[in-house]
Chain A
Amino acid sequence: MSVKKVHDNQPKEFKFSDENLRKVEEILKRYPEKNKKSAVMPLLYLAQRQNDNWIPLAAMRYIANFLAMPYISVYEVATFYTMYNLAPVGKHFIQVCTTTPCLLRGADKIVKLCKENISPNENEISKKGNCSWMEVECLGACVSAPMVQINDDYYEDLDEKSTKEILTSLINDKPLKPGSYRGRKNTSPEKILISNGEKHA
């Protein structure tokens, strides 16, 4: 990981949509007027949502003016947090968890598949233009390791075969369903186990 670079091609302008402006109003209500710059993080998130999952410089400036902050302060926040994307990502944005539990369960194989099927490097848009991937730190789903997050959904209990299927479906723009790929329901035990005389589903 290195410091996040802003993208070369930046849109000239950014404005919150009417719907998001209503949300912004709600967000600003959470903070006292004199501390309104505390809203910078939710606002950046909102901007990322509105702008195809990445934040252009125009949006940072827009938010800075909105909250009466210096540009550099917003820029500092946006570069500090890894979950703000400062360059365009694919329509299907795959975040592969490579923290210890996932790695022990074979996350490196998923990374390899991503390299082969999507793009040789992280944060590169695939040839067809609809996917990109990156390695991330723990996504908090160790119980169903290894796993990936694709846009807002978790795909869990993966192996090479299921990963390949998922990636192919994404490349063809027909994404498979999220959830466990070993037939688990939520995070329940895989086989019916009896302990303490009780039956677990």
Chain B
Amino acid sequence: MPKITINGKEIEFEKGMTVLQACELADVEIPRFCYHEKLSIAGNCRMCLVEMDKSPKPIASCAMPAAEGMNIKTNTALVEKARKGVMEFLLANHPLDCPVCDQGGECDLQDQSLYYGVDKSRFVENKRDVKEKYMGPLIKTQMTRCIHCTRCVRFATEVAGVPEIGAIGRGENMEITTYLEKSMESELSANVIDLCPVGALTSKPYAFEARPWELKKTESVDVMDAVGSNIRVDTYNWEVKRILPRLNNEINEEWISDKTRYSCDGLLKQRLDVPYIKKNNKLQKSSWDEAINLLVDKINSVQPNEIAGHIGDMINMENALSFKKFFKSLKSENLEFREKNFYINSDEKMNYIFNSSISGIEDADLILLVGTNPRHEASILNARIRKTFVQKKIPIFSIGNPGDLTYGYEIIGDSTEDIKKIVNKEHDFSQKLLSAKKPIIIIGESALELKSGGYIFEELKKFLIKNNLINENWNGLNILAQNASTVGLLDLKILQGKNAKSSSFFNDLRNRKFKLLYLLGSDNLELKKNDEFIIYQGSHGDRGAEIADLILPSATYTEQNGLYENLEGRIQECKKASYPIGEALEDWKIFNRIIKKLGFKDRIANFDELRKEVLETVPNFLEINELPKKSVIKTNNVETSFYKEKIFARELDYYYTNSISRSSKTMSECRQIRQKIKKNGTNN
């Protein structure tokens, strides 16, 4: 490996690194504003100047490729003077409004001017003033503070794939703006707030809410979709003030979606704080004792097979397992968690996870989407596909038309016939698929919901195995789950007995066979209430609570510890950042109370044991935060039937997918704007 000398210390670096990256290897800190690891190099802030031997002037280390034998110095008087000079220029037009700026306390400019700047200003001329720019309901702008690092411009163009931010004008009059001050049409737009090194782009919903040092920070995971983005939950007392991304290169890199970030105000609204009982067709406040007594009476008045349970989209694995155990003591097998009846082959773990893993997308040389819109179903995963597309120019194909995905793709069909042709090698695409070394097929829930969902999955699987495209090193057969709970619940074998293979739950539900329906945080189940008794146990007064006869309040994902399994089958821990509101309890504690009242003995002793049991149940489990053990998928011949159907990606109301986001004011503002754009055509 080539060697470089930094401050007299010789270190080895990898070819292709810049001087700045080599300095980082040597543990030498270089101040910077425009440079960001995940973005292209701009080299326009000049803060990273260092001294190089044989160079008459200091060099911008972020843009200079490191080379063998370079001698870099970062602690000389020249470098110090250069930094001070650059800092003085940056501060020339920067307002001194730190006391009223939301970035205060976590501002790169503030921190770096403390360490590298001068303590007084020689700038006596007028400072420039830039008008605020509208950038949508999430981003608050104060453009006078902007130092023109263009991180936001590069993020929008490169990562988000919506080139809508740009720098207009020139010289002193340069301004950063979105095209004609429209809101940014991206699911990742709010990441520019984190990227902004100053207070030019700050969070609109969080404006003047708190200072960073006042907040309690909890490292957790997100449950808004099945990606399991790593987040940091910032709380002030009970209230979740904001959610920020946490770096995890395996999953979300440094980004999170807008829904992940801004659904948190939904945690404060529409909350269920006490049990409610429907009396005279009206929900009335009640007590735990009364509620549980009523529930136990109801349970005792029906047959076990008339009791059914449905688990919602954001339930953690411990609670789901305790629910399953609860149902076992009730002797009912009618458990379900799917919102729509999609095909799933739960024999083996490899049948229902995203096998190639999110970071594995970058190794792919061909991607086929089948009835899925990853942009809405898993925005972060879509960003990874885009990254691969931009870097490697891989061909992407789709069956069904998902609309704008921020990258180019070719639609090669829209019906199950096309799948048939592909697996029979009658389609033009078959050859492309066969000649690929690491192809990825992503099957969406919309495709699996079709009558031929089983056919689509099993035939594609057979085709891949037959042609050795699934082997020990590569498994590109992926299911894109939409809900945070889906994969975990499959691993806990929630679908059991006759339910595992057939759609008996949905049939029975339609045929009104159930007399008692227990909704555990389940708001998205399509259901017409008849005369069944519905119990809703959850955190928000949403769709489930609306139709319920009895409401039991429980905690949200930020208010309890719990494990979630993301679509890759990676188990991650969601940590308690706040505590449940009012009389609300964790779900497993509620079941314990009911079990006690029913007089059964199999209560859950404590949470740790519950977690232990969860981890023992999960197949292929290796370690928390790690991918599951890989095993080669078996070909078991599953009988499936073919129907001629259209494959499409079911439209998702992106900002309104779960009870938390539906309660969020920010999300409904975003949704309104999105709908307006849809109605008036595009932005323009």
Does A pair with B?
A: yes
Residues of A within 8 A of B (CB): 1-4, 6, 57, 61, 70-73, 75-76, 79-81
Give the chain B neighbours of A3 by CB distance below 8 A: 168-169, 173-175
Closest to A82 in B: B170
B164: chain A residues at CB < 8 Å are: 70-72
- Which residue in B163, B170, B174 is a CB contact (below 8 Å) of A72? B163
* The one of B173, B174, B179 that contacts A75, using a Cβ cutoff of 8 Å: B179
- Closest chain A residue to B174, Cβ basis: A3
Contact B163 A76 (CB under 8 A): no
Contact partners of A76 in chain B: CB under 8 A: 166-168
Beta-carbon contact of B163 and A79 below 8 Å: no
Q: Which residues of A contact B467 (CB under 8 A)?
A: none
Smallest CB gap from A70: residue in B: B163
The residue of chain B having its C-beta at the shortest distance from the C-beta of A57 within the complex is B180
Q: Which residue of B lies closest to A4 (CB)?
A: B169
Cβ A73 vs Cβ B163 within 8 A: yes
Asked if B398 lies at the interface with its beta carbon under 8 angstroms from chain A, I say no
Closest B residue to A58 by beta carbon equals B684
With A70-B163, A71-B684, A73-B163: A79-B169 Cβ-Cβ less than 8 Å: yes
Nearest Cβ in chain A — how far from B169, in angstroms? Answer: 4
Indicate if B577 sits at the interface (CB-CB under 8 A): no
Please, how many angstroms separate the alpha-carbon atoms of A76 and B167 in the complex? Answer: 6
Q: Across the interface, which residues of B come within 8 angstroms of A6, CB to CB? A: 180
- Mark contacts of B145-170 with chain A using CB atoms, 8 A cut-off: 1 yes-contact digit, 0 otherwise: 00000000000010000011111111
Does B170 contact A73, Cβ atoms closer than 8 Å? no
Q: What residues of chain A lie closer than 8 Å to B174, measured between beta carbons? A: 3
CB distance from A31 to the nearest CB of B (A): 20
Cα A80 to Cα B166 with chains together (Å): 11
**C-alpha gap A70/B404 in the complex (Å):** 14
Closest to B165 in A: A72
Measured CA separation A6–B166 after assembly (Å): 15
Q: Does B178 contact A (CB under 8 A)?
A: yes
Min CB distance B130 to A, Å, is 9
Q: Which residues of A contact B179 (CB under 8 A)?
A: 70-72, 75
Distance from A66 Cβ to chain B, minimum over Cβ atoms (Å): 15
List 17 other contacts, CB 8 Å, given A2-B173, A72-B178, A76-B167.
Answer: A1-B173, A2-B169, A3-B174, A3-B175, A4-B169, A70-B157, A70-B163, A70-B166, A71-B164, A71-B179, A73-B163, A75-B166, A75-B180, A76-B168, A79-B168, A79-B169, A80-B168
Nearest to B683 among chain A residues (CB) is: A71
Residues of B within 8 Å of A73, CB to CB, are 163, 166
What residues of chain A lie closer than 8 Å to B168, measured between beta carbons?
3, 75-76, 79-80
Q: Which of A1, A61, A71 has the most CB of B within 10 A?
A: A71
Taken together as a complex, chains A and B put the C-alpha atoms of A71 and B182 apart, in Å, by 12
Q: How long is the Cα–Cα vector from A3 to B175 in the complex, in angstroms?
A: 8
Cβ–Cβ < 8 Å partners of A2 in chain B: 169, 173
Residues of B contacting A72 with CB < 8 Å? 163-166, 178-179
Query: What separation, in Å, do the CA atoms of A6 and B164 have in the docked complex?
Result: 17
**28 A-B pairs whose Cβ atoms sit less than 8 Å apart in the complex:** A1-B173, A3-B168, A3-B169, A3-B175, A4-B169, A6-B180, A70-B164, A70-B166, A70-B179, A71-B179, A71-B684, A72-B163, A72-B164, A72-B166, A72-B178, A72-B179, A73-B163, A75-B166, A75-B179, A75-B180, A76-B166, A76-B167, A79-B168, A79-B169, A80-B168, A80-B169, A80-B170, A81-B170
Identity of the chain B residue whose Cβ is nearest the Cβ of A1 in the assembled complex: B173
Q: Mark B546-558, 1 if CB is under 8 A from A, else 0.
A: 0000000000000
A80 contacts across to B, CB distance below 8 A: 168-170
When distances are taken between beta carbons in the complex, the residues of chain A under 8 Å from B180 are: 6, 57, 75
CB distance from B408 to the nearest CB of A (A): 11
In the bound assembly, the distance between CA atoms of A75 and B179 in angstroms comes to 8
A87 to chain B, nearest CB (A): 15
Best-surrounded residue of B163, B173, B179 (most CB of chain A within 10 A): B179
| CB nearest neighbor in A for B128 | A2
Q: Which residues of B contact A4 (CB under 8 A)?
A: 169
State in angstroms the CA–CA spacing of A1 and B165 once bound together: 23
Which A-chain residue is minimally distant from B166 (CB atoms)?
Answer: A72
- Which residues of A lie under 8 Å from residue B166 when comparing CB positions? 70, 72-73, 75-76
Q: How far is the CA of A79 from the CA of B157 in the complex (A)?
A: 19
The 3 closest A-B pairs by CB, nearest first: A70-B163, A3-B169, A72-B166
Q: How far, in whole Å, are A3 and B174 apart by their CA atoms in the complex?
A: 7
A71 CA to B163 CA in the complex, in Å? 8
In the complex, which residues of chain A have a beta carbon less than 8 angstroms from the beta carbon of B165?
A: 72
- 1/0 per residue, CB under 8 A from A, across B409-442: the answer is 0000000000000000000000000000000000
Chain A residues positioned under 8 Å from B175 (CB to CB): 3
User: How far apart are B173's CB and chain A's nearest CB, in angstroms?
Assistant: 4
Instruction: With both chains docked as a complex, state the minimum distance between the C-beta of B141 and any C-beta of chain A, in angstroms.
Output: 15
Query: A189 CA to B592 CA in the complex, in Å?
Result: 105
A64 to chain B, nearest CB (A): 10
When distances are taken between beta carbons in the complex, the residues of chain B under 8 Å from A71 are 164, 179, 684
CB contacts (< 8 Å) of B163 on chain A: these are 70, 72-73
Chain B residue nearest to A79 in the complex (CB): B168
Interface residues of B in 165-221 (CB under 8 A from A): 165-170, 173-175, 178-180
CA distance A6 to B180 in the complex (A): 9
Query: Are A61 and B684 touching (Cβ within 8 A)?
Result: yes
Query: Which of B157, B166, B167 has the most chain A CB within a 10 Å cutoff?
Result: B166
Tell me which residues across on chain B come within 8 A of A75, comparing CB atoms: 166, 168, 179-180
Query: Chain B residues near A70 (CB, 8 Å)?
Result: 157, 163-164, 166, 179
Closest to A78 in B: B168
Q: Which residue of B lies closest to A71 (CB)?
A: B179
B179 to chain A minimum Cβ distance, whole angstroms, is 4
Kindly state the separation between the CA atoms of A132 and B157 in the bound complex, as whole angstroms. Answer: 38
Chain B min CB distance to A60 (Å): 10
Rounded to whole angstroms, the CA-CA distance of A61 and B684 in the bound complex is: 9
Could you tell me the distance between the alpha carbons of A6 and B167 in the complex, rounded to whole angstroms? 15
Closest to B175 in A: A3
